[in-house]
Structure 1
Amino acid sequence: MSTTRACPPPDGPGPEVEGGASAGLPPAGGGQARRLRLVGVSGAVPLSRDFTRQALRDWGWLPAATADHRAAAEDVLLVVSELVTNACLHADGPEELRVSQAGKTLRLEVSDLGAGTPAPRTPHRAGRPGGHGMFIVQRLCLDWGVQRREGETGKTVWAELAAPS
């Protein structure tokens, strides 16, 4: 897993979603995508989870047919929570959440204006409070990383998870 591997940006700007409603936009390579603007939003973490949960419903991940499908959906919601929480705590808040699905991969992206680089705390100390977010992301995801904005402050932290089989 990488914290610095760049990933190509998605095609096009996509729709802006207000108030938690969802709108679709195909991601690069086909599939489905949703965007949620989070600038100045109160309760960004639960709003992001609800938004992602609705996308998972619309895309057939929920309601889960099996325990494995339910676990996959719960992993997605946990990773969304961790990425948005990190943007709230360490980057003056998130700007946008993008959720996309192409083939057997679900991609989460959280953009913010922060200059820092998220990384799992090393060594990981399971018994201590706090500092577990990126460790959780690293453990649950196929891959994750940070895409810096060229010539600007800010970044997009992205994570990819496998769709249930």
Structure 2
Amino acid sequence: MASAEASAGRQVRRLALAGQSGVVPLARDFARQALYAWGWLPAATADQRAAAEDVLLVVSELVTNACLHADGPDELWIACDNKVIRIEVSDKGTGQPAPRTPHRAGRPGGHGMFIVQRLCLDWGVMRTPGVGGKTVWAELGAPA
């Protein structure tokens, strides 16, 4: 189930993913629709197109990590203001995502959080005391 809200110049969209199949393409399509609604797409310049593609790649990586390491994502949350887009993926996992060290570009797999780290202004993990699971978040700058 998807929902949208707006407050103080910030646009927010949520998509429930728990129990869904095909969650990675579902999440990418949902994020793409949000980017169209927020005017990031269709992109007028190469920089704007690259920024939108970066958002879609980060969504894919965060949702994929939840699938691989946490029995799947519960929810995708995307918010946008004039300067930053924030992506959050919640799951029931207890692990701590981190870029693989050392990173080896030629080795298959293990590149997700390295990609997120390289593309994003910042990223991290939120946990609520006494509640299982976590939310992995990432922020990207809005295109010029």
Q: Give the TM-score range, shorter chain.
A: over 0.9
Rounded to whole Å, the distance in 2 between the matches of 1:147 and 1:25 is 22
Matched ranges for 1:116-135 at <5 A: 116-135=95-114
2:13 is matched with which residue?
A: 34
SS in 2 for 1:111: strand
Greater share of residues in strand? 2
More helix by share: 2
Map Cα deviations across residues 12-39 of structure 1 (whole Å, 9 max, x no partner): xxxx52xxxxx32136x54100000000
1:160 and 2:143 are equivalent in the alignment: no
Count of residue pairs brought into register by the alignment: 144
Check if 1:110 corresponds to 2:89.
Answer: yes
Cα RMSD of the aligned pairs, angstroms, is 1.0
The gaps in structure 2 that reach 5 residues or longer are none
Match of 2:34 among 55, 60, 79: 55
Separation in 2 of the partners of 1:77 and 1:32? Answer: 17
TM-score w.r.t. length of structure 2? 0.97
Structure 2 residue matching 1:24: 3-state secondary structure: strand
Shift of 1:41: 0.3
| TM-score, normalised relative to structure 1 | 0.85
**Runs of 4+ off more than 3 Å:** none
2:62 counterpart (66, 73, 83): 83
Separation (CA, whole Å) in 2 of partners of 1:103 and 1:64: 16
1:3 equivalent in structure 2: none
